[in-house]
Structure 1
């Protein structure tokens, strides 16, 4: 009976409407009321769908979230440990109450994109056996005044009701990109943003008005400096956890997790992949494994090989190979430019060049692949100056061979300028220890120009001293389009310009 109830009701309604029409009743008022009721029903459904989100499909609270464990998240051992310690205040509630400890109200996860902040929030819900309700900061932004504040209220209300329905003592609310609604209130924002933030602060103040369900707010952002101070103070977000890019050990762990469902060749060395992917986030490492599998499938290979992983790293860094066909002169200029980077790199850091290629990828017409770097967190003035020289090597080579530069050096100059800015902030220039914001633009530009001109002259001198290596490498690169690091160093040794 339950199965056919809907069909019986529709059939009865149609028969009833036909009967009214047969006896001459005017159906126009009934039709208008029916249209209004349907419109109201659809509007309420749309409003309810936007207000709340569960972890899978944020706009569908009826969907059960897929929980993760902390063991399934790689590369964040320190951040995971710090988060687990904070969550223990929720898990061991009775124990901490004996000591008069106030439970945490909020945890803020900060760090670069793709480092696993959302995954850690889901794992936190599983660890604490909590209801998990998620939303994005953009869902609270609306042109109508008061809508954002209302959605904040609905979010907390739904977390409580869902916890009671599932008979759980805890609920975790996760707000991604909280900087959208939690920005500093300095008069530059609209009143709607302020109302939404004020409502969030009010809800956080009243989180523990009742014993159960206990609510913990977890938020994520990669722009912590944009957040309002009222949101960051103790009693609101009590813990600030930095989720950084993974180190080599963490990168290998992440690669192993994503390699579980992929047929890797027995000769694949994930240690080497972890070294070559220096500076990659967890999302980029997942993309590397996925792209490597795609390369293997394209070639109808049974297993993913090491070269597929190397190609995948190049693709994630630079983009897919393109079909651009450059003229001979343009191709030669690109070869000169890339060899400029390679020669300088090999001079200032011997054995650092892994490959020089002329194959276009993304917006790059050629590229130099360097040997894996060691994880490094402190940089000296000498190290940064050598990095600038490597970046300027392409433009310096073009000036030596062609008497001028091209637009191919744009990204190189951006990289060099960023390094100079880092040196200034770190007190590694002639300006000394200064607040960069208090120095005039003229002084900054003068010091910036002095550093780059000095290093450009030094780079040119180094290249001119190795001009024979340049000519022999250029001929080989133009013919084969790819020059391996071993071939490149052999040319150096033949001309007795580097020790064998």
Structure 2
């Protein structure tokens, strides 16, 4: 009622002033400003503590994650990482036992590793393993332009974790912060930033989690940039345990593929071991995408089951991208075919059985490519292995030289890889320069040694490919007609036309 009286009085006053001939525009502007301020104050009162803090709290209510069915058994590979994480989680499960040994419970676990390796899945499995309340947030949710908002959200996150555990009658809670490098970056000390306040609040909350508190809170975080994190965050007593979640090895890749194809109809010719062998360097997320894309290709073909060729298409798509409509001229297609055959011939000579497929169809930025089977996972390389891989990289350019008398821009990426491996030979002390420190050696000497290595490999590659003209001609005809030359077919052609391949000096 009072509201209507005030509004009526204001309108009457304005009309009276207009009747007297007074300019009411300034009064109207003042009234609008007062109205806006009044409206904002009312909204703040309705929202709780007001402004950005209320906004932060409303977002925090979304952090509670419903209990999932993810168990450690559902995560393929990562046996070492899972074992380390389970040991850390046992401090929440077997409280009496750790008290017997006088062990201080861990306060934080940091999961580090490349994207797509399963860090978030392991955090969800951890909540199930310990029957803990699970609260999750992303580092970006704490970043605001308003000072103090991020710190308030950190406080709210810890309160929410404890209250959720108490509500569900649980003895422990797990807080998971993904991409923690967003708020946990190194402090430069030059200025007081919002990021620094948020990080300081996180450090304070982790220090304040006493071992006797109930419910006990364990902070888990994930990042693929551990080198960016502040030292105060990584010290013992905060993130006590750092667990590396690496790219899966061959056995782990096969496990992951088995999990992601469990609900898919596979044909009898599908060998997940072979797919795992051909996907060296793939993350768990990429392997899941391979299984999914293979099913999509089977559906496109109208096939009742997923065949091995569908997995081949899927690996190509995840690795290189989808096929493109770019149409090259006949001369370019012939050059690309000879280029890729050069790579394939050298690869098969230095590592028999390594060629999985030679393709002329363009994918992504590539007009053609050779998909190689790495045969085995390798993490250390000898000088001989690096030199052979350099020869494979140079094979395409050498083939163009033999048939066209010159090179093209298609060899640019190959040369970058070859240069990188030649420099690796020098830096690893495997060249004629011996063990050197690059900072104290004349750059001209290093350049000359790299150039000598590459010229030596070029001569060996030329000598090898000049003996293989029948293979080039037969492979060119097959690629021209079918655009794809399978590895087994290519090896049969190589054996037919170059039976003395084992005697060729490499």
Shared fold per TM-score greater than 0.5: yes
| Distance in structure 1 (CA, Å) of the matches to 2:45 and 2:424 | 57
Pairs within 5 Å for 1:123-272:
123-186=125-188, 191-208=193-210, 210-272=212-274
Match of 1:428 among 424, 430, 433: 430
- Which residue is equivalent to 1:377? 379
Which of 96, 100, 103 is the matching residue for 1:101?
103
Partners of 1:22 and 1:38 lie apart in 2 by 20
Residue 434 to residue 156, structure 1, CA distance change in 2 (3 Å): farther
**Is the alpha carbon distance of 1:172 and 1:354 closer, same or farther for their aligned partners in structure 2, counting shifts above 3 Å?**
same
CA drift at 1:295: 0.8
**Which deviates further from its counterpart, 190-199 or 437-446?**
437-446
TM-score (ref. length: structure 1): 0.86
Q: Whole-Å Cα distance in 1 between the matches of residues 352 and 191 of structure 2? A: 52
Distance 1:112 1:35, change over 3 A: closer
Q: CA deviation at 1:201?
A: 2.1
Structure 1 443/135 Cα, relative in aligned 2: closer, same or farther at 3 Å? farther
**Partner residue in 2 for 1:307:** 309
Whole-Å Cα distance in 1 between the matches of residues 442 and 208 of structure 2?
47
Counterpart in the other structure of 1:46 = 55
Aligned to 2:289: 287
Q: 1:178 to 1:454 in 2, by over 3 A?
A: farther
1:318 equivalenced with 2:320 (yes/no): yes
Change in CA separation of 1:92 and 1:422 when aligned onto 2, cut-off 3 Å = farther
* 1:498 counterpart = 2:496: no
Q: Which has the larger radius of gyration?
A: 2
Q: What's 1:475 paired with?
A: 477
Separation of aligned partners in 1, 2:265 and 2:372: 28
Whether the 8 Å contact between 1:130 and 1:169 is mirrored in structure 2 is yes
Displacement of 1:348 after TM fit? 1.1
Structure 1 range deviating more: 309-318 or 468-477:
468-477
Contact 2:139 2:181 in 1 (8 A): yes
Shift in Å at residue 442 of structure 1?
A: 4.8
Deviation per CA, 1:131-174, whole angstroms, max 9, x where unpaired? 11112222223333333333322222222222222222211111
Say whether 1:37 aligns with 2:39. no
What stretches of structure 1 move > 6 A for 4+ residues in a row? 25-32
In the other structure, the counterpart of 1:3 is: none
The yes-or-no answer on 1:404 pairing with 2:409 is: no
Shift of the alpha carbon at 1:84? 0.6
- Between the aligned partners of 2:96 and 2:188, the Cα distance in structure 1 is 41
Q: Is the 8 A contact 1:156 1:203 kept in 2?
A: yes
Further displaced range: 215-224 or 266-275: 266-275
Does 428-437 or 488-497 show the bigger shift?
Answer: 428-437
Aligned to 1:84: 86
How far off its partner does 1:115 sit? 0.6
Q: How many residues align?
A: 477
Q: CA deviation at 1:345?
A: 0.7
Give the match's secondary structure for 2:466.
Answer: helix
Q: Give the Cα–Cα distance (whole angstroms) in 1 for the partners of residues 250 and 257 of structure 2.
A: 11
Query: What is the alpha-carbon root mean square deviation over aligned residues?
Result: 2.9
Report the CA distance between 1:313 and its aligned residue. 0.9
Offset, 1:441: 5.0
SS at match of 1:465: coil
Pairwise CA distance, 1:36: 4.2
2:122 pairs with 1:120: yes
Tell me how far apart the structure 2 counterparts of residues 423 and 499 of structure 1 sit (CA, whole Å): 26
Matched residue of 1:418: which SS?
helix
Quote the residue 1:9 is aligned against: none
Q: Which runs of 5+ in 1 are unaligned?
A: 1-15, 53-58
What is the TM-score of this pair, normalised by structure 2? Answer: 0.85
- When residues 341 and 138 of structure 1 are mapped into structure 2, their CA distance, relative to the original with a 3 A threshold, is same
